[in-house]
Structure 1
């Protein structure tokens, strides 16, 4: 066969191969560590997977596995995605203390509004500015926060700063445990799946989680009281990313990458935030149907707790500076972006 004909034949073969790749069916296995009935899986992950499947014309199938069903621990989720053990999933960077220090700025006391959609818009903007380099070995689809942090405990609700003294309370992240310690409690760091057993066995007196996770953890049965702080800002928060294995994402043809991209970024962050706002309302309603008291610490006592929170923030800034970061700028930007997130969310409604 003459060279030119051989070249044409090869080109035709490559064209057929490219057509086959672009028409391929892809299965993506995503994993998380909570009940499939909790807020994010119900109101974000499952609808997100459905949107991907529909917009790809069925060429992408997304399988969502709850409760770490594919293996590994919640604390290792980032590495499972990075290493390709799973194609994607839900990550709490704070479950690996010290590894992603800049992200902690979003988890400090009273930084985030109780409006989770607004807070998650801010979280995505903060991620874009500061954190993409930290997560460079995965493909970040979006970032978000959960809802307002509530104190759930056995026994009566705390009414004053002094009521925290000596309590053994579960905290999800380093900033949260820093705050609990400054409040006089004994903080116990643990991932959320371990919380119910620790509470039922009396290892801890209580802990902090948002309303939405209460029903799936059965905290309305295990705890006796549920307490929030006064005002529009949360006692603490927790930062999440929804991420995908980088090589898996890059292996997709451009049109399928676009399907992922069209369901990523700011819109997905706001979507996840709304999921948690919805879940918080549902979770709080479950508690309200029990005899457990739902209380709010008075504005005066909340101000005292805020003062303690400012000490935590100051200590965090000093520590961040010692690591070569600009701690004050990180905190200032987090606060500014939260205010901008509130404005952006209000403008969209």
Structure 2
């Protein structure tokens, strides 16, 4: 090759090298944001036991996921699997989150008895703050203080929350006194619910809530303790004749729910995505969950009235024997906590104090 051609070739090589370097700089410049975003996009599976139309997914989880997707500029995405679409039975959801079968699950603490001995205090009818908002914020206080941390060591809890409280829905017997309950077969919402029902002289029957409509229709059950919010998607308001609550609208306790993420999956997220997730699972999230459930409850009660169902609110005198059953459940919870070596009295006192602190946030 002649010197002139060698020079020309060298110039071409230098030009090409400069172009490659320039392209490399262009490619590297966004790696702190868009380039890494493409490499760090995360789709999280969300598994639960209710239908896609239930309040849990349609009004609670989907809007939450949309906010996270927006805050992460599309780097976080969510794929929902309602009605146990990923397989298994509702009592297996906690294990699925723990073992990584699903990234995120929403479940009932009572489906895995004994796993949440501290947090189960919020199932007690004597603890429930009369609204989901009040009780959710009380739970959040105890979560933030670490009082409940040992219960959730094997997963990453995103939210522990309750619904607005359980009314008693019966298919044939209007419940106006505790005598009306005696001998009835009633679906039990939790272990402490079993104690409450037994103290009322009724027969507790344990089953996941999706099985409830068929059990009521076939007479396997005479009634169930669930909120109206759940009674709507399960069509219990179409099956039941009557719905009972206590004086002042007090309910028969509540059910405590868990929105949890597989621990390894959470810890594998990039730091900035973990920060976004954390920012959207704080006290405001607990407050919003409470508002959603507290808003839906009276709406479904109106639907039941429009169907001609009877809404029964007991007098203080008629409520008193039920409150005695509440105390029996509390005493048994304390005894069981002591058998486990837990200071149940301290947990119970902390829960009641937290509920009292947030009492002014109850809906009017």
Change (3 A) 1:264 1:35: same
Q: Report the Cα distance in structure 2 between the residues aligned to 1:14 and 1:313, rounded to whole angstroms.
A: 62
Q: Which residue of 1 aligns with 2:88?
A: 72
User: CA offset at residue 114 of structure 1?
Assistant: 2.2
Q: Is the 8 A contact 2:117 2:151 kept in 1?
A: no
Change (3 A) 1:17 1:80: farther
Determine which of 324, 327, 334 is the counterpart of 2:351: 334
Kept after mapping to 2: 8 A contact 1:21/1:253: no
Report how many residues are paired.
336
> Contact 1:110/1:234 (CA < 8 Å) preserved in 2?
no
Aligned counterparts of 1:29 and 1:227: Cα–Cα separation in 2: 38
Runs of 4+ aligned structure 1 residues displaced above 3 Å come to 12-23
What TM-score do you get using the length of structure 1 for normalisation? 0.91
CA distance in 2, matches of 1:107, 1:165: 22
The CA RMSD over aligned residues, in Å, is 2.1
Judge which range, 18-27 or 28-37, deviates more.
18-27
- Structure 1 contact 211–284 (Cα < 8 Å) conserved: yes
Distance of 2:240 and 2:77 partners within structure 1: 39
5+ unaligned residues in a row in structure 1: which ranges? Answer: 1-11
Residue 51 of structure 1: SS of its match in structure 2? Answer: helix
Per the TM alignment, residue 246 of structure 1 is displaced from its structure 2 partner at its CA by 1.2
Show CA shifts across 1:202-221 (max 9, x none): 11111110010111100111
Q: For residue 130 of structure 1, give the secondary structure of its aligned residue in structure 2.
A: coil
**Partner Cα distance (1:279, 1:40) in 2:** 11
- Map 1:29-48 onto structure 2 (within 5 A): 29-48=45-64
Aligned partners of 2:143, 2:162: CA distance in 1, in Å?
11
1:234-269 CA-to-partner distances (Å, cap 9, x unmatched) read 311111111111111111111111111111121111
Q: Distance in 2 between matches of 1:198 and 1:38?
A: 20
In structure 2, which of residues 177, 181, 184 is the aligned counterpart of residue 164 of structure 1? 181
The Cα of 1:49 is off from its aligned counterpart by 0.6
1:194 lines up with 2:243 in the alignment: no
Q: Normalising by structure 2, report the TM-score.
A: 0.87
Q: Which structure has the larger Rg?
A: 2
Which residue number corresponds to residue 61 of structure 1?
A: 77
The alignment status of 1:146 with 2:163, answered yes or no, reads: yes
Q: Quick one: distance in 2 between partners of 1:296 and 1:340?
A: 27
